[in-house]
Structure 1
Amino acid sequence: MGVPEVLWRVQQVAQKKVTKLGIGLASEPPAPDTSRFGRSFLHDGAGVDVPALTAAADAILAGFWNVFALHAIPLGFPPRWNRDPKTGTDAPMVLGKAIDYRSEKVVGDIKYLWEPSRHLELVTLAAAWRSTNDPRYLEGARTLLASWFDQCPYPQGVHWTSSLELAVRLLNWACAWHLLGGADSPLFAGEGGQRFQRRWLDNVYQHCHFISGYFSRHSSANNHLFGEYMGLFVACQTWPCWQASRRWLDIARHGLEEQAIEQNHADGVNKEQAIYYQHEVMDMMLLCQLVAQANGSSFSQPYMARLEKLADFVAAIMDRNGHVPMTGDADDAQMVRLAYGAGWCPYRSLLASCAILFKRGDLKAKAGGFDDKNRWLFGAEGERAWATLQEQPEHPVTAFPQGGYYLLGKNFGQENEVRLVADCAPLGFLSIAAHGHADALSFTLSVKGQEILIDPGTYAYHTQKQWRDYFRSTPAHNTVTVDGVDQSEIAGAFMWMRKANARALLHRPLDAVQVFEGEHDGYTRLPDPVLHKRRIAFDAEANRIVVTDFLSCIAEHEVLLHWHMSETCSVATTKDGFTVSAQDVTLEFSCAAPGLELALLRAGEEAPFGGWISRSFDVKATTTTARWRGRIKGSASIVTTISIQGLAQGRAGIAPI
């Protein structure tokens, strides 16, 4: 930390202490001005899958909740908001800012405790009422909110610790408010209804006041800060009811404009180097723009241009069947849940939104369909605009030099597609690089829309340290590990110390043999420094990939080279290496390096770790990891040849940069 951050954190500690004395709190919010409210940014949801929506709402009313790895868990209705559904731990009801929410002994698994209180389920009930006019859903929304107000009084308890959690809750409250009819909702009829409305508005004020006093700054100013501005912006547009609302709105709008540029590279890559967090930031940007439009304004051209660039990157790394590499951290967060059908894809949904917003037929082709979330967001007019968009063939951007990702491949968007995404990116954003993984020079590979080489994902955050460390380690990625250490040094669950610096040396995606070259200095910290350089050459006519890993050093070192396969693949050893089969595609891997021995780590090895994949938070499954292991003395090269069978010959469809 620099001096400004140290001073800021000291000030935050002092602020927490004085709140114990009641100083600086908003315990008695001023009376709201209810003469005007913001316009709804949601539409009537015509055409949505009502059976899927009401099934989700009925499960909530019956007391069955889905929280990460827990499905249909009987939490009751309403639930006990301060009890962790995973461990059963009851968080203490003391000043929220005094709670050590990172301690499993104190709160259990904080992700499980916070998730229900984001109130995505409130939106489900509100949307079900809007679609059916069934009073059960209306009363359910009232019950859910009233119980939360009762059990989570400001500023007590774990739900008054993180400004981001309050911000996401405000967004969902705003969605529910509009879906339930706004100020004219039947919820507010009569004297009792007016008291309930006042109670809700008092909570809104307290949320806004809290966020405005506890923004994430300095090394913490990542997606958390963006989300905090989002929640404050949406709240002040929806409920401009207090003298402070205009000031908060100006702070939030300015912050969103600033952070849209600060947190996202000009080439469209989010600086956290975590694809799922790119999705979250894009969703925040989209929702804020729609809220602004509904209320007669818009964000700036640079803000909108940056959002469009973010969409270009997601489209480029997505294969023809909608698979996106699981690079960096992911926590399955949705800002708001407005689609309930099976197979819904957050990335494709965002691309559909951007197709409408920017009138992009190529993004429509990548999105593949107009989903229920976009029916709520854009309405019938948006669906008509979608229908008039002409789909265009895919010609993706192939180089993202600021973000550090490079494509090789052919036939993009077609049946015989090959899509290789090489990672030559920074570790992460700001000094702690919280959501980055030690994955420099790794790559993912998809053939004919089938994932072959994958990034295994994330799995854990605050708990299960050994798993948290494994999934972000170098051996968990398709690259070289030297002397059993990671390229970058883990210093905590969301902190890195010495960081590997990656540098692209060459990218030629248009040559007869396409080439990417890059290097990183992560192992130059060893007593005998090792420089790792990788060259990936794709012969599009022969359907062959040759990966050459150059290790420059003097002394003797142990090297490991891992290849992580999708769980849909079957893997078998051969005389020269191994084969990977997925439906009608087979890849043959061979390795030319003296003294390296092959082992297949299957069914979830733990000593050493290998053969694991995590598609969603706190859920892991078994797969196959191939590992070549051996020792080198002095500079050496490891050459891996990957021959793709089952593809037509030829170079058709190679995309321009």
Structure 2
Amino acid sequence: MTTLAWKINRLKLMGLPEILWRVRQLAQKKASKFGLGLVAQVPAPRLAGAMPALLGEAPAQVDAVALAAAADAILAGRWNVFALRGAQLGFPPRWNCDPKTGTHAPMGLGKQIDYRSERVVGDIKYLWEPSRHLELVTLAQAWRVSGEQRYADGARALLQSWFEQCPYPQGVHWTSSLELAVRLLNWACAWELLGGASSPLFAGAEGQRFQRQWLDSVYQHCHFIQGYFSRHSSANNHLFGEYMGLFVASLVWPCWPASARWQALARRGLEVEALKQNTADGVNREQAVYYQHEVMDMMLLCQLFGQVHGAGFSAAYLERLERLADFIAALLDAGGNMPMIGDADDAQMVRLAHDGAWSPYRSLLASCAVLFGRADFKRKAGAYDDKSRWLLGAAGLLGWDSLAAPAEERPVQAFPEGGYYLLGNGFGTPAEVRLVADCAPLGYLSIAAHGHADALAFTLSLGGEEFLIDPGTYAYHTQKAWRDYFRSTAAHNTVCVDGQDQSEIGGNFMWLRKANASLLAHQPSGPVQLFDGQHDGYCRLSDPLTHRRQVEFDTQKNRVVVKDILQCRGEHEVALHWHFAEGCQVGLDGARVRARGRRLGLTLACAFGAGAQLLRASETPIGGWISRKFDEKSPITTAVWRGSINGTTEIVTEFHWSPTE
């Protein structure tokens, strides 16, 4: 898509207030070329004496071996950045060089750089990620646990190289307020772990110069963020993260007259956005489960930092965080699998656990179990992880041990405002059936940036093993064909009409005309459970078509019957897609499709069209792919039934499962 086309589409989604605001922002950026609005000189900081700290002593039972291995790899110049594993980037790395493409980003004024252009900066996600400085925290943790000076020295070398290569306000690391905010969070964690203002790193004249350099950059970061908040149609998780960075920084470094103002501003914003961006029944409005995890993590971190400094949040804020945890607990199956609904970018706000099997969802549930005294969250978390150990300290471990996990899981099965509904039984047992149906809005605000065209799709997990899945995300700013595929209707377990998506793509993080889904019925109990919903995404066609889907789960017969009712007058080409997890062996058996898992076999029968076509690692058309991690994809099998309809038509698909022989 050309820059002009993108700008036109973006304008379509703005109201007059946003247009006027963006004009002012543009004028502000232009003025910054002449130094207007920039920090000319950082005021001298006034460091307090002993300050409270969230991250003090190393917790008991932390995995010191995994931590040391992670820290040693960093010092050896081996970095993990998305699909790059153990990449030799050096220590310190070249902060303005994209590690994926080798592109060197320009060093002009940050706000003047087109970071969306692959030609100019390479893959911006890869360029930004190391500069969030999660690795700095790893080195600080390793020093705190081991006492080895090389880790503390490495932390200082890492920061000093960044200050030298990324001077305020030059380069791509001074473009996005969210990136600055996440960096501030990690700096705050590292600052505390390294000993705060009295850290041995600040001893002597050289140490004092380093400390002042760090504090000057903190001030510049805070000043930048408060001048460039994400507003209007961009006021999603970015705005929440910006408030988070400003809030935490103002607590950890209350060094300037502006600090109190920044703290009050950020605190008010966090209270408002916590309720605005998350539904009362616990669903983040971006309709992307991984972003729900990110916002929950931001909320949790802000509460814990605030609590330590006597600035915790309101009961309404905490209640909303608890409801968000209810939703995560409801979607997580008995095997710890989470449906990959909506966008995901693998981001962590801060990395405090280094176990390769660590789960961000289970970690949040472990922390929330302690925070809210919820034994059912403890049951879903399964174990107390290292991140929770660091954040909650010795008191948190005592709280965890005092919770008696219930023998039975009883998840919330309806999230009417958020738009998700469960069918199933045997939750949390080897006999579990967990079906998650999507009847939600496309996304949040006018651009719905992180939503996927997945209305009425559902995932199916049996006995803690995934069978029908959401294939994930894969790409963001680059590889447009793949970016569009993974968020398309064809990439989800639902019906595609006339080769079009339910909603119209307007850009990498933008949707134009959007499907509206609505619930008709939900009955999650009894011998036959029911979900019934519809959406109007195809009513924009010349012959308007409404898609209604009824899902019946017969608990006695281990059977799900899906009725796709396509209400229209004329002719349409229809494709019905079912995407299987990579652990399934899928093949045709006459007119049926059979998927074999570890313990169960799932059979699909559908009489529509000429029968099923199986796609696996196909590029023409794209199909048969899953992306478990950002910028990584692997083959799966996708079953597609294609055919023509003329007038209102009902397509019936029957699923039945039984133990494998």
TM range (shorter): over 0.9
Partner of residue 36 from structure 2, selected from 12, 20, 23: 23
Over residues 135-186 of structure 1, what are the superposed CA-to-partner deviations in whole Å (9 max), with x where a residue is unaligned?
1001000000000000000000000000000000000000000000001100
Residues 478-627 of structure 1 aligned to structure 2 (within 5 Å): 478-593=493-608, 595-602=609-616, 604-627=617-640
Over residues 439-469 of structure 1, what are the superposed CA-to-partner deviations in whole Å (9 max), with x where a residue is unaligned?
0000000000000000000000000000000
Q: Supply the distance in 2 between the matched residues of 1:590 and 1:296 (Cα, whole angstroms).
A: 60
Partner of 2:480: 465
Deviation at 1:574, TM superposition (A): 1.2
SS in 1 for 2:478: coil
Over residues 461-482 of structure 1, what are the superposed CA-to-partner deviations in whole Å (9 max), with x where a residue is unaligned?
0000000000000000000000
Deviation at 1:384, TM superposition (A): 1.4
Contact 1:308-1:358 within 8 A present in 2 as well: yes
Contact 1:27-1:154 within 8 A present in 2 as well: no
Partner of residue 107 from structure 2, selected from 93, 98, 116: 93
Partner of 2:164: 150
Contact 2:454-2:494 within 8 A present in 1 as well: yes
Residues 23-62 of structure 1 aligned to structure 2 (within 5 Å): 23-36=36-49, 38-43=51-56, 44-62=58-76
Read off the aligned partner of 1:479 and give its amino acid letter. T
Contact 1:36-1:240 within 8 A present in 2 as well: no
Could you list the runs of 5+ residues in structure 1 that have no partner in the other structure?
648-657
Q: Supply the distance in 2 between the matched residues of 1:592 and 1:511 (Cα, whole angstroms).
A: 28
Read off the aligned partner of 1:108 and give its amino acid letter. G
SS in 1 for 2:578: strand
Residues 194-213 of structure 1 aligned to structure 2 (within 5 Å): 194-213=208-227
Read off the aligned partner of 2:564 and give its amino acid letter. D
Q: Supply the distance in 2 between the matched residues of 1:54 and 1:417 (Cα, whole angstroms).
A: 38
Q: Supply the distance in 2 between the matched residues of 1:511 and 1:56 (Cα, whole angstroms).
A: 50
Partner of residue 254 from structure 2, selected from 221, 240, 244: 240
Residues 286-365 of structure 1 aligned to structure 2 (within 5 Å): 286-365=300-379
Over residues 357-407 of structure 1, what are the superposed CA-to-partner deviations in whole Å (9 max), with x where a residue is unaligned?
000000000000001101101112211111110001211110001110000
SS in 1 for 2:644: strand
Contact 2:419-2:439 within 8 A present in 1 as well: yes
Contact 2:343-2:452 within 8 A present in 1 as well: yes
Partner of 1:221: 235
- TM, length-normalised to structure 1: 0.97
Contact 1:37-1:238 within 8 A present in 2 as well: no
Partner of 1:183: 197
Partner of 1:115: 129
Contact 2:334-2:428 within 8 A present in 1 as well: yes
Partner of 1:14: 27
SS in 2 for 1:518: strand
Partner of 2:8: none
Deviation at 1:636, TM superposition (A): 0.4
Deviation at 1:326, TM superposition (A): 0.2
Deviates more, 1:24-33 or 1:252-261: 24-33
Partner of residue 452 from structure 1, selected from 464, 467, 485: 467
Q: Supply the distance in 1 between the matched residues of 2:171 and 2:493 (Cα, whole angstroms).
A: 43
Could you list the runs of 5+ residues in structure 2 that have no partner in the other structure?
1-13
Within the alignment, does 1:438 sit opposite 2:459 as a pair? no
SS in 2 for 1:572: strand
Over residues 472-507 of structure 1, what are the superposed CA-to-partner deviations in whole Å (9 max), with x where a residue is unaligned?
000000000000000000000000000000000000
Partner of 2:489: 474
Read off the aligned partner of 2:410 and give its amino acid letter. H
Q: Supply the distance in 2 between the matched residues of 1:563 and 1:131 (Cα, whole angstroms).
A: 48
Contact 2:591-2:612 within 8 A present in 1 as well: no
Q: Supply the distance in 1 between the matched residues of 2:427 and 2:370 (Cα, whole angstroms).
A: 22
Within the alignment, does 1:377 sit opposite 2:391 as a pair? yes
Q: Supply the distance in 1 between the matched residues of 2:612 and 2:556 (Cα, whole angstroms).
A: 29
Q: Supply the distance in 2 between the matched residues of 1:37 and 1:116 (Cα, whole angstroms).
A: 31
Q: Supply the distance in 2 between the matched residues of 1:21 and 1:38 (Cα, whole angstroms).
A: 38
Q: Supply the distance in 2 between the matched residues of 1:157 and 1:32 (Cα, whole angstroms).
A: 25
Contact 1:38-1:239 within 8 A present in 2 as well: no
Deviation at 1:297, TM superposition (A): 2.7
Over residues 505-563 of structure 1, what are the superposed CA-to-partner deviations in whole Å (9 max), with x where a residue is unaligned?
00001132000000000001101111100000000011100000000111111000000
- TM, length-normalised to structure 2: 0.97
Read off the aligned partner of 2:271 and give its amino acid letter. E
Contact 2:624-2:638 within 8 A present in 1 as well: yes
Q: Supply the distance in 2 between the matched residues of 1:633 and 1:37 (Cα, whole angstroms).
A: 76
SS in 2 for 1:557: strand
Partner of residue 138 from structure 1, selected from 139, 152, 161: 152
Deviation at 1:38, TM superposition (A): 4.3
Partner of 1:652: none
Contact 2:29-2:112 within 8 A present in 1 as well: yes
Deviation at 1:37, TM superposition (A): 6.5
Deviation at 1:35, TM superposition (A): 2.6
After TM superposition, which residue ranges in structure 1, 4 or more long, deviate above 3 angstroms?
Answer: none
Deviation at 1:577, TM superposition (A): 1.4
Partner of 1:642: 655
Over residues 293-323 of structure 1, what are the superposed CA-to-partner deviations in whole Å (9 max), with x where a residue is unaligned?
1112310000000000000000001101110
Read off the aligned partner of 1:252 and give its amino acid letter. A
Residues 418-437 of structure 1 aligned to structure 2 (within 5 Å): 418-437=433-452
Partner of residue 168 from structure 1, selected from 159, 182, 194: 182
SS in 2 for 1:546: strand
Q: Supply the distance in 2 between the matched residues of 1:97 and 1:38 (Cα, whole angstroms).
A: 35
Q: Supply the distance in 2 between the matched residues of 1:297 and 1:556 (Cα, whole angstroms).
A: 62
Q: Supply the distance in 1 between the matched residues of 2:522 and 2:218 (Cα, whole angstroms).
A: 51
Deviates more, 1:435-444 or 1:291-300: 291-300
Deviation at 1:413, TM superposition (A): 0.7
Contact 1:233-1:248 within 8 A present in 2 as well: yes
Using the aligned pairs only, state the percent identity: 67
Over residues 236-287 of structure 1, what are the superposed CA-to-partner deviations in whole Å (9 max), with x where a residue is unaligned?
0000000000000000000000000000000000000000000000000000
Q: Supply the distance in 1 between the matched residues of 2:51 and 2:249 (Cα, whole angstroms).
A: 9
Q: Supply the distance in 1 between the matched residues of 2:78 and 2:59 (Cα, whole angstroms).
A: 25
Q: Supply the distance in 2 between the matched residues of 1:577 and 1:489 (Cα, whole angstroms).
A: 33
Q: Supply the distance in 2 between the matched residues of 1:596 and 1:418 (Cα, whole angstroms).
A: 30
Partner of 1:281: 295
Q: Supply the distance in 2 between the matched residues of 1:447 and 1:93 (Cα, whole angstroms).
A: 52
Contact 1:82-1:157 within 8 A present in 2 as well: yes
Contact 1:352-1:374 within 8 A present in 2 as well: yes
Read off the aligned partner of 1:278 and give its amino acid letter. Q
CA RMSD between the two structures: 0.8
Q: Supply the distance in 2 between the matched residues of 1:503 and 1:36 (Cα, whole angstroms).
A: 57
Over residues 625-646 of structure 1, what are the superposed CA-to-partner deviations in whole Å (9 max), with x where a residue is unaligned?
0000011111101000000112
